Amino acid sequence: MKLAIVGVTGLVGSEVLKVLEERKLQIDELIPVASVRSKGKKISLNNSYWEVITIDEALEKKPNIAIFSAGSEVSKEYAPLFANNGTTVIDNSSFWRMDDSKKLVVPEINGHLINKEDKIIANPNCSTIQMVMALYPLHKAYKIKRIVVSTYQSVTGSGKKAVDQLMKERKGKKLNSEDMAYPHKIDMNAIPHIDVFQENGYSKEEMKMVSETQKILNDYTIKITSTTVRIPTIGGHSESINVEFEKEFNLEDVYSYLNDFKGIQVIDNLSKNEYPLCNYAHGKDDVFVGRIRRDESQPNTLNMWVVADNLRKGAATNAVQIAELFMLP
């Protein structure tokens, strides 16, 4: 098994290495890929060291699987080249997600759709993954009619530059425009602006949650509206979800469906102030659900609070789980 990680020195690439070690997958050859300035750097996996190479050099090595975490432009140019070379590409960028010929996969939900002929598989947006994980078992039981979601997203979702901006601001350092990942100060702030704004007034991140959710659940009748907000946290994304179903539900069954679904943990004990927190989710693979309660303003509607580590299940872990579908017997 030859596995390439494209963007190995970034936040997601580094997390992929951690997940591979934790899950004890058998990798015969790791092919760490980064930009030219990182060429020659040593990368550790399972007590072995591998030298970073360029993406063109990796292409010549014909890996069995390549996990891409290097942005849309790299994926646009190189994913087809690797695929044509026989490599299965698992892409973390947004480029292939809404391509009708590519599958958008959360393994617990639609991993069964993958086959050996799929050479480019899209990994969904981090905020979408944790939302559909929490909603899928309920959708099967009650059928979702409408979703209203507001996100509170960690700076880690914007990469190392954003983390550096927050930490420098927290230390009181002066920043110039080149140091800023965001158009505003992020420390002690909340910015309702993730990705670029579209003509309809929504951000690209907000529209991803709409289109990706419908594609993953294979239900384009679901109405979805989203507001995405960046907050000064590190560890995970949080979401306030209001979901209207076509069928009536009772809360006891809701808890049962969630508790029984692999990859979900319910934390919901108000008497002890127990509910999902992003610093608790940090470094964990599960999606955490709490503050589950009926919306008393209209029928068949539920409120919940959903938290997950955006670098783990929201990116690296989900990608590795897809890879496992090809690696495990």
Stretch 296-322: mean pLDDT: 98
**What is residue 328's predicted lDDT score, i.e. its pLDDT?**
72
Stretch 4-26: mean pLDDT: 96
Stretch 239-258: mean pLDDT: 98
Q: What is the DSSP letter of 201?
A: S
pLDDT, one tens digit per residue, over 183-195 is 999 999 999 999 9
Stretch 155-184: mean pLDDT: 96
Stretch 69-74: mean pLDDT: 97
Bridge partner residues of 88 (DSSP) = 65
Share of the chain above pLDDT 90, in %: 98
Q: Residue 329: pLDDT band by 50, 70, 90 thresholds?
A: low
Domains of the chain are: 2-123+315-327 (3.40.50.720), 127-310 (3.30.360.10)
- Annotated active-site positions, please? 126, 237
C-alpha–C-alpha distance, residues 152 and 229, integer Å: 5
pLDDT, one tens digit per residue, over 75-106 is 999 999 999 999 999 999 999 999 999 999 99
Share of the chain above pLDDT 70, in %: 100
Stretch 305-316: mean pLDDT: 98
Whether pLDDT at 13 is above 70: yes
Stretch 172-189: mean pLDDT: 96
**What is residue 62's predicted lDDT score, i.e. its pLDDT?**
97
* 5 in Cβ contact with 13 (< 8 Å): yes
Q: Which residues of 274-313 are buried (b: 16+ CB within 10 A; e: fewer)?
A: ebbbbebbbebbbbbbbebeeeeeeebbbebbbbbbbbbb
Stretch 16-22: mean pLDDT: 97
**What is residue 105's predicted lDDT score, i.e. its pLDDT?**
98
* C-alpha triplet 108, 33, 314: angle, nearest 5°: 25
Whether pLDDT at 112 is above 90: yes
Whether pLDDT at 313 is above 70: yes
Bridge partner residues of 90 (DSSP) = 67, 121
Tell me the CA end-to-end span of the chain in Å, nearest whole number.
Answer: 13
Q: Which residue has the higher pLDDT, 329 or 204?
A: 204
238 CB burial (10 A radius; 0-12, 13-18, 19+)? buried
